[in-house]
Amino acid sequence: MQGSIGRKLLGGALAACLVLGAGAALADEVGKVGVDWLGNDIVVEAIKDPKVEGVTCHVSYFDRGIIDRLHKGNWFEDPSDSSISCRQTGPIIIGDIDVSESGEEVFKQGISLIWKKQVVNRIYDEANETLIYLSHSRQVQNGSAKMSVTTVPLYGQNVVWSKGKPQ
C-alpha cells in the first residue's frame, strides 16, 4: 500500500496524463505482491493492445514503497526492471499498425517524477508472421539496457487484418 501511495504522489497524475494524451493503451492492475517490510511491491498489470484485438500483455514491475524511498534516497523513481508476457486471448483482429522496423508504442507510464518511462513497443516480424512486444524503460539520458521481450505467433492462426495485410 505504501508503494502505491508513493507512486501516486510522485508521478501517478503525470503518468496518467501522459498515457491518456498519447492515445496508448491503459493498464489494469491485476496483481500485487509485497516483497518486504519496506512496502516494496511487484505489480502485475494487464494491457490490451489498442490496435490488435485478441492480444493481452501482462507486464510486471517493481514499485518502491515510501520507507524504501526515504531510506535509499532517490525518492522520485522506480527501477527500470520489467517483465512482459503477451498471449492471444481472443480472435485476432489487426488494425492499422506500424509495420516499420521500430514498430510503435503500445503503452507507456511514468516511473519517475518527470523523465523516465516504462514503455511497451509492438514490432511486426513479417517474415516470421509474429508480433513482438518489447518492454523497456526510456530516459532522456543514461538509457537502460534492462528489457524483456515476448511474441505472439500469427502463423496458422485465423487472423483478420481490418486494413488489409501488409505487402
CB 133 within 8 A of CB 108: no
**pLDDT higher than 80, residue 32:** yes
CB 39 within 8 A of CB 1: yes
Give 25's DSSP letter: P
DSSP 35-102: -STT--EEEEEEEE-TTEEEEEEEEEEEE--HHHHHHH--TTB--S-EEEEEEEEEEEEE-S---STT
- How does pLDDT run across 34-52, given as a tens digit for each residue? 878 877 888 899 999 999 9
pTM comes to: 0.73
pLDDT of residue 35: 78
Percent of the chain with pLDDT over 70: 65
- How does pLDDT run across 144-166, given as a tens digit for each residue? 667 889 999 999 999 999 988 88
pLDDT of residue 74: 64
